[in-house]
Amino acid sequence: MEAGMPKRKEPGKSLRIKVISMGNAEVGKSCIIKRYCEKRFVPKYLATIGIDYGVTKVYIKDREIKVNIFDMAGHPFFYEVRNEFYKDTQGVILVYDVSQKDSFEALDSWLAEMKQELGPHGNMDNIIFTVCANKMFYSAIVDFCENGGKRPGTNVSISFTKEQADNIRRIRNSKDSWDMLGVKPGATRDEVNKAYRKLAVLLHPDKCMAPGSEDAFKAVVNARTALLKNIK
């Protein structure tokens, strides 16, 4: 290096931070993390088994920061797996489903679980907590459908009908396979198949663009299969 020339500033070492997601099963934690880390939306739901993991890089004032996100399975069965991941956490994403009030009310119990696992010497004051309301898009679109498939105050049609949205919502809240197909317990094989065909035509993902149509269609298929096994 020539005399008098300034030394080149060496880039700082990458900073690593640990973030975990917490919340009930099926609130959409995995989909949020994949959207952030992989920049893609995943419409299919696969239950997290224990712990999933995502990583992405962000830059703050030319400093590279590697964000390591641990996706904690929400089912109580996986408590013995996730309890090891609370330590050394710097950020927490608390996720709830806007259509499930109990998932919001459960956030306090998730915080209590974390506090318990960190122990008496654990310090939660230095952890950044963010509450994330998920599935809001779905709820908003369903509201749009209350106006006959058009946005309130406009003549702009959207890509699915009120009937489709109502059935997706009904299927999602069904208590059993009979309720899902809309038939009474003890219905005949022909009645089950007739109800299935009607819903299959209405909700097939190739014809229905409503959020949740694919999951609803699969649920209907599974309900029909389950009922026909028990009908002679």
Q: What is the pLDDT of residues 65-105, one digit of tens each?
A: 899 998 888 877 778 778 888 989 999 999 998 888 899 99
Backbone phi and psi for residue 111, each to the nearest 5 degrees, phi listed first: -65, -40
pLDDT digits (tens, 9 = 90+) for 175-220: 999 999 999 998 998 999 999 989 988 888 767 777 888 888 888 8
Q: For residue 8, give every residue at least 6 positions away whose Cβ sits within 8 Å of its Cβ, in sequence order, or none.
A: none
What rounded mean pLDDT belongs to the chain? 80
Strand partners, 58: 65
Grouping H, G, I as helix, E, B as strand and the rest as coil, residue 10 is coil
Query: What CATH architecture applies to the domain 138-229?
Result: Orthogonal Bundle (1.10)
Q: Specify the pTM.
A: 0.53
Q: For residues 57 and 77, what is the distance between their CA atoms, to the nearest angstrom?
A: 32
Q: Which string of DSSP letters, residue by residue, matches 106-124? A: THHHHHHHHHHHH-TT---
- Average pLDDT of 129-151? 60
- Residue 33 near residue 21, CB atoms below 8 Å: yes
Q: For residues 144 and 210, what is the distance between their CA atoms, to the nearest angstrom?
A: 11
- Residue 199 near residue 167, CB atoms below 8 Å: yes
Q: For residues 120 and 111, what is the distance between their CA atoms, to the nearest angstrom?
A: 14
**In the predicted structure, residue 171 carries a pLDDT above the cut 80:** yes
Q: Which of 99, 115, 86 is nearest to 26 (CA)?
A: 99
Query: What CATH architecture applies to the domain 15-134?
Result: 3-Layer(aba) Sandwich (3.40)
Give the start-to-end residue ranges of the domains of the chain: 15-134, 138-229
Q: Which of 68, 75, 108, 115 is nearest to 91 (CA)?
A: 68
Q: For residue 82, give every residue at least 6 positions away whose Cβ sits within 8 Å of its Cβ, in sequence order, or none.
A: 50, 51, 72, 73
134: confidence class by pLDDT, cuts 50, 70, 90: confident
Q: Residue 119, Cα to own-chain centre: how many angstroms? A: 29
